Structure 1
Amino acid sequence: MQRIWITGFKAFELGLFGNKDPKKQVLLYALKRLMVQQIEDGLEWVITGGQLGIEQIAIEAAMTLKPDYPELKVAMMLPFTDFGAQWNSQNQQQLNLWRDQVDFVGYVSQEKYSNAGQLQSYQNFMLNHTDCGLIFFDEQATQSTARYAFQGMKQYSKTMSYPVTQIDFDRLQEYADEYAESLNDW
C-alpha cells in the first residue's frame, strides 16, 4: 500500500483568493498530473489536512480522479478537533463539504487546539503514517508555514525511506506553461 502526504502553501501564501482564481486551475492541473503518475506507481491513499490552499486543492484533485481511478482513497487528517473553527463561514462550509466527501476523516489530537505541540504531533503522525511526501514549497518563501513540513520531511527522509517530491516556484511555472499550452490545444 502506498500512502502520500500532500501539503504545502496556504491559499493566502499563494495569493489565491477564491475558487475562480486561475492559479487554482494550474494547481489542480499539477496535482492531477502528479497523482496520476503516483497512481500508476501504486498509490492507494492521498492523505492531507484541511488547510485552505494546497491541501484542500489536493482533496479536490483526488476527488475528481476517483471516477477514473476508483481504487484511490482520500483521507483528511486534521491536527485537532476544532480545526477551522476560526475561519469565516464560507471556508468552514468548504471544509465540512470535503469532510463529508472524503473516504476517511481523523483527528490526530482528540482535543481542541491548546498548544503548538499539537502541530508537531500532527507532523510526526503524518510522517509515520505515509510512505512519501509531496510538498508545494519554495525555500525562498521563508515566511511560509509549509517550511516546517518541508524541514520535517527532509529530516525524516535522512533516516527512513521516505521520498519527498518538492514543487517549487520554478516547477510550478512549468506546470502553468503546460496548462496554458493544453488550453491552446483545444
Structure 2
Amino acid sequence: MKVLTVTGYKPIELNIFKPNDHRIVFIKEAIKKRLISYIEEEGLEWVILSGQMGVELWTSQVVLDLKESYEINLGVIPPFQEQEGRWPEQYQNDYQEIVMLADFHQTIYDDTYKGPYQFKARDKWLIEKSDACLILLDEEHPSSTRFFLDEAQKAYNNNAYPIYTITPFDLEEVVMQMQDEISDWNQD
C-alpha cells in the first residue's frame, strides 16, 4: 500500500467543541499508531485527504509530525476553494498551515461551494487515487462518514478496495495504553 486516504468525523460529531479538547490527543495517537504500522509494514508513502475539520485535519498534523522520522508525504485535496471559510478561526488557521506544509495541494473544483455533488466527487477521487482507506468510524453512528463509506464499499465490491477502521474500541485501547504509560512514568 503506497497511498492511503484518511477520513472520519467532524469535531461536532464527536461532541468536541474546542480545538484543545483532551480527547483529540487520543484520536491523534490512534491515527499515529496506525500510520506508523502502515509505513513500517506496508511501505506507505502518501496520506491523502480533503483536510476537513476534525479527523482529517488532525491526521494532517500527525503526518507532518511523522515526517520528522519517516519518508511520508501529505496530499490535501479539498472539494472546492475556501472550504474552511465558515469554520471557527482556530480550525481555519490550522487548515491554512496544513495547506502550506502539504507536499501536494489542489482542489477538485476550481470554484467555491456549489452543491453536494462536489463532496461526492471528492470521495470518488480520493478512493480512485488511493490503495486503501482508513476511517475513524462507529458503525452504529456513521454520521457524515456514511457518504464516504458508501463510496468506499462500492470500490471494495468492484475491486476489493481495502477499508480499515479505527473504532471506539480502538480509541479505548489507546486511552488505556496512554494511561498505563503515564502511570508507569509517574512510578519511576
Give the TM-score range, shorter chain.
over 0.9
- 1:176 corresponds in structure 2 to 175
- 1:51 corresponds in structure 2 to 52
Give the alignment's Cα RMSD to 1 decimal. 1.4
Letter in 2 for 1:173: E
Letter in 2 for 1:140: E
Secondary structure (helix, strand or coil) at the match of 2:106 reads strand
- 1:83 corresponds in structure 2 to 83
- 2:35 corresponds in structure 1 to 35
- Counterpart CA distance in 2 for 1:31 and 1:185 is 23
Give me the identity figure in percent. Answer: 27
Contact 1:134–1:166 under 8 Å retained in 2: yes
- 2:10 corresponds in structure 1 to 10
Q: Residues 37-71 of structure 1: CA distance to partner in whole angstroms, max 9, x if unpaired?
A: 000111000111211110011011111111110x2
TM-score normalized by structure 2? 0.92
Please list every run of 5 or more consecutive structure 1 residues that lacks an aligned counterpart in the other structure.
none
The structural deviation recorded for 1:31 is 0.8
Q: Where does structure 1 differ by over 6 angstroms across 4 or more consecutive aligned residues? A: none
Q: Which segment drifts farther, 34-43 or 102-111?
A: 102-111
Structure having the higher strand fraction is 1
Contact 1:137–1:150 under 8 Å retained in 2: no
The structural deviation recorded for 1:185 is 2.5
The structural deviation recorded for 1:85 is 1.0
The structural deviation recorded for 1:116 is 0.9
2:147 pairs with 1:148: yes
Contact 2:77–2:108 under 8 Å retained in 1: yes
Q: Residues 69-108 of structure 1: CA distance to partner in whole angstroms, max 9, x if unpaired?
A: 0x21011110001211112333211211111111111111
Q: Residues 122-172 of structure 1: CA distance to partner in whole angstroms, max 9, x if unpaired?
A: 111011000000000112115x10111112212211111311111121222
Letter in 1 for 2:108: V
2:67 pairs with 1:66: yes
- 2:158 corresponds in structure 1 to 159
TM-score normalized by structure 1? 0.93
Secondary structure (helix, strand or coil) at the match of 1:133 reads strand
Secondary structure (helix, strand or coil) at the match of 2:30 reads helix
The structural deviation recorded for 1:184 is 2.0
Q: How many residues align?
A: 184
- Counterpart CA distance in 2 for 1:10 and 1:63 is 20
- Counterpart CA distance in 2 for 1:136 and 1:117 is 23
- Counterpart CA distance in 1 for 2:84 and 2:174 is 30
Please list every run of 5 or more consecutive structure 2 residues that lacks an aligned counterpart in the other structure.
none
- Counterpart CA distance in 2 for 1:25 and 1:65 is 15
- 2:123 corresponds in structure 1 to 123
